[in-house]
C-alpha cells in the first residue's frame, strides 16, 4: 500500500474543505475503498474520514418522503421500522447483500458509490477503461460470466453495477442530495449512475469535490406490495447474477401501478419503465408476467459467457411477481 495523508472531518463543510486543499477520497465504512487501496487500484493522496459527520439519521419529511443520512449503515437501514413497513423491498435488498459484518460497516452513501466487481478492474494489470481510461476492456473478449452485464453495455465496458440497495432505490424512486464548494443540489437517483458509453471511467453524476449528505426516498405507493428477488451462484455473500426489485399496487383485480428495477444484468441500477408500462392495466397472470419480462430484457446484448442472463433476468421478474401475487 502507498503512503497517504489521513484526516478526520467533523462536518460536511470541513470534509469538503479538506478535499479542496488536496484531492481526496472520502472514507466511510471503507468496505470498498480500503480493499481497492490495498490492491493498488485506488491511490488517493488523502483520505478524509467522514465517520463522525452527523449524517446518521432516518427522518420522515412532512411531505411523506423519508430522508436517509449518508452515514446510516446498511444494517440500521434494513432494520428501521419505517423501512420495513413502508419500503420492504429496500430492507430485503439490503439484507441480501454481503455479510452481517460488512452491512454493519457499509453506509448508505458508500453503497451508492461502490465500484464494480470486474476481475480485470481489480487485477491492476489488464486493460480496463475504468481503471486506466482508454486502455481497453479485457472483459469483452475475456471471462464475462458473472459480474458482467447484458443491458446498458458498450464495448468500452460491460461491468454490471454490484449494488442490491441501489436496485431497490431505483424502483422506489429517490433523490440524492449533495454538497460541494458551489453549494448544495439534488440529483434524481435514476440520473446518478452513468452508462459506460465511451467514457466508462465516469461512473456517476457527482463532481469530484462534492459529498453525498443524504438520500430522500419518494413517498411509498399507497396499498402497494413489494419484494426483492436475488438470483446468485450461492445463497449468501455473493453478488447478483440477476435480481429484481418490484413494487405493485392493484385495484379491482387489475394492476394500477408498477415499478420494476433490475440488478446484476445491467451496467447501472436499471429501471425497466417499458415493462412497467406494459404491466399497468393488466391482470396479474403468468402470461402477462412472462410478456412483461420479455419486454424488460429487450435490447440486451449477450457476451461470450453471459447469454444466460437474458432468460435469468426474465425469471427474476416472473418469479418475483408470482410471489407478490401468490
Ligand atoms: Fe474494466 Fe469495465 Fe472492461 Fe471490466 S468490463 S475490464 S471494469 S472496462
Instruction: Tell me the CA–centroid distance for residue 264 and ligand 1, in Å.
Output: 15
Closest CA to 108 of 161, 48, 158, 68: 68
Burial of 41 (0-12, 13-18, 19+ CB in 10 A): middle
246-283 burial by CB neighbour count: b if 16+ within 10 A, else e? Answer: bbbbbeeeebebbbbbbbbbbbbbbbbeebbebbeeee
Answer yes or no: are the C-beta atoms of 70 and 28 closer than 8 Å: yes
CA 276 – CA 289 distance, rounded (Å)? 11
Our mutation pick for probing the ligand 1 site, out of 115, 116, 129, 150, counting the most ligand atoms within 8 A of Cβ, is 129
Instruction: Tell me the CA–centroid distance for residue 212 and ligand 1, in Å.
Output: 25
CATH number (2.30.40.10, 3.30.43.10, 1.10.110.30, 3.30.750.24) of 5-50 reads: 3.30.43.10
Answer yes or no: are the C-beta atoms of 246 and 320 closer than 8 Å: yes
> Can you spell out the DSSP letters for 144-188?
-SSSB-SBS-BTTB-BPP--SHHHHHHHH-EEEEEEETTEEEEEE
- pLDDT for 90 equals 98
CA 38 – CA 29 distance, rounded (Å)? 15
Q: What is the pLDDT of residues 196-211, one digit of tens each?
A: 999 999 999 999 999 9
Mean predicted confidence (pLDDT) in 303-314:
98
Residue nearest to atom 7 of ligand 1 (CA): 121
Percent of the chain with pLDDT over 90: 99
Q: Is the pLDDT of residue 60 over 90?
A: yes
> Can you spell out the DSSP letters for 47-99?
EEE-TTSS---EEE-TTS-EEEETT-BHHHHHT-HHHHHH-HHHHHHHHTSS-
Q: What is the pLDDT of residues 212-234, one digit of tens each?
A: 999 999 999 999 999 999 999 99
Please give the number of the atom of ligand 1 that sits closest to the Cα of 200.
Answer: 8
Our mutation pick for probing the ligand 1 site, out of 36, 41, 118, counting the most ligand atoms within 8 A of Cβ, is 118
Residue nearest to atom 2 of ligand 1 (CA): 157
Residue nearest to atom 1 of ligand 1 (CA): 128
Instruction: Tell me the CA–centroid distance for residue 40 and ligand 1, in Å.
Output: 16
Mean pLDDT (the chain, rounded):
97
Instruction: Tell me the CA–centroid distance for residue 122 and ligand 1, in Å.
Output: 9
Q: Is the pLDDT of residue 1 over 90?
A: no
Instruction: Tell me the pLDDT band of 88, cut-offs 50, 70 and 90.
Output: very high
Residue 220 CB-half CA count within 13 A: 16
Where along the chain do the CATH 3.30.43.10 domains lie?
Answer: 5-50
Instruction: Tell me the CA–centroid distance for residue 221 and ligand 1, in Å.
Output: 37
Mean predicted confidence (pLDDT) in 19-45:
95
Mean predicted confidence (pLDDT) in 284-306:
98
Handedness of CA 117, 118, 119, 123 (dihedral sign): negative
Please give the number of the atom of ligand 1 that sits closest to the Cα of 196.
Answer: 2
Please give the number of the atom of ligand 1 that sits closest to the Cα of 136.
Answer: 8
Where along the chain do the CATH 3.30.390.50 domains lie?
Answer: 225-324
Residue nearest to atom 3 of ligand 1 (CA): 137
- pLDDT for 74 equals 98
Instruction: Tell me the CA–centroid distance for residue 93 and ligand 1, in Å.
Output: 25
Instruction: Tell me the pLDDT band of 15, cut-offs 50, 70 and 90.
Output: very high
Domain 225-324 sits in CATH 3.30.390.50: yes
What are the distances in angstroms from CA 138 to CA 133, 135, 187? 13, 9, 32
- pLDDT for 23 equals 87
Q: What is the pLDDT of residues 175-184, one digit of tens each?
A: 999 999 999 9
Helix or strand holding residue 19 (H, E): helix 12-21
Ligand 1, CB within 6 Å, residue ranges: 116, 118, 120-121, 128-130, 137-139, 157-159, 200
Instruction: Tell me the CA–centroid distance for residue 164 and ligand 1, in Å.
Output: 20
C-alpha cell at 277: 408500462
Helix or strand holding residue 11 (H, E): none
Residue nearest to atom 4 of ligand 1 (CA): 118
Please give the number of the atom of ligand 1 that sits closest to the Cα of 137.
Answer: 3
Percent of the chain with pLDDT over 70: 100
Instruction: Tell me the CA–centroid distance for residue 307 and ligand 1, in Å.
Output: 18
Handedness of CA 15, 21, 25, 29 (dihedral sign): negative
Amino acid at each position: 500500500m502507498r503512503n497517504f495523508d489521513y484526516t478526520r472531518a467533523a462536518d460536511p463543510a470541513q470534509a469538503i474543505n479538506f478535499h479542496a486543499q488536496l484531492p481526496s477520497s472520502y472514507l466511510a465504512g471503507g468496505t470498498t475503498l480500503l480493499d481497492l487501496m490495498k490492491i493498488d487500484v485506488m491511490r488517493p493522496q488523502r483520505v478524509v474520514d467522514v465517520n463522525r459527520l452527523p449524517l446518521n439519521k432516518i427522518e420522515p419529511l412532512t411531505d411523506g418522503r423519508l430522508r436517509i443520512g449518508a452515514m446510516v449503515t446498511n444494517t440500521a437501514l434494513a432494520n428501521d421500522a419505517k423501512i420495513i413497513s413502508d419500503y420492504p423491498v429496500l430492507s430485503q435488498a439490503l439484507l441480501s447483500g454481503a455479510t452481517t459484518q460488512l452491512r454493519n460497516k457499509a453506509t448508505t452513501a458508500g453503497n451508492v458509490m461502490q465500484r464494480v466487481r470486474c476481475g480485470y478492474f481489480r487485477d491492476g494489470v489488464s486493460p480496463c477503461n475504468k481503471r486506466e481510461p482508454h486502455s481497453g476492456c479485457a472483459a469483452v473478449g475475456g471471462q464475462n460470466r458473472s459480474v458482467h452485464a447484458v443491458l446498458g453495455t458498450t464495448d468500452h465496458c460491460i461491468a454490471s453495477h454490484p449494488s442490491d440497495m441501489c436496485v431497490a432505490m431505483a424502483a422506489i424512486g429517490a433523490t440524492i442530495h449533495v454538497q460541494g464548494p458551489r453549494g448544495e443540489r439534488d440529483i434524481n437517483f435514476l440520473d446518478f449512475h452513468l452508462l459506460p458509453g465511451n467514457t466508462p471511467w465516469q461512473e456517476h453524476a457527482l463532481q469530484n469535490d462534492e459529498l453525498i449528505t443524504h438520500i430522500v426516498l419518494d413517498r411509498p405507493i399507497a396499498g402497494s406490495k413489494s419484494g426483492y428477488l436475488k438470483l446468485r451462484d450461492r445463497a449468501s455473500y455473493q453478488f447478483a447474477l440477476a435480481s429484481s426489485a418490484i413494487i405493485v399496487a392493484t385495484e379491482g383485480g387489475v394492476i394500477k401501478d408498477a415499478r420494476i428495477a433490475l440488478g446484476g444484468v445491467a451496467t447501472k441500477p436499471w429501471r425497466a419503465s417499458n415493462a412497467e408500462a406494459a404491466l399497468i392495466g393488466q391482470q396479474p397472470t403468468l402470461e402477462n408476467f412472462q410478456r412483461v419480462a420479455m419486454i424488460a430484457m429487450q435490447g440486451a446484448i449477450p457476451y461470450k459467457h453471459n447469454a444466460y442472463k437474458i432468460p435469468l433476468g426474465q425469471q427474476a421478474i416472473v418469479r418475483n411477481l408470482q410471489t407478490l401475487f401468490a
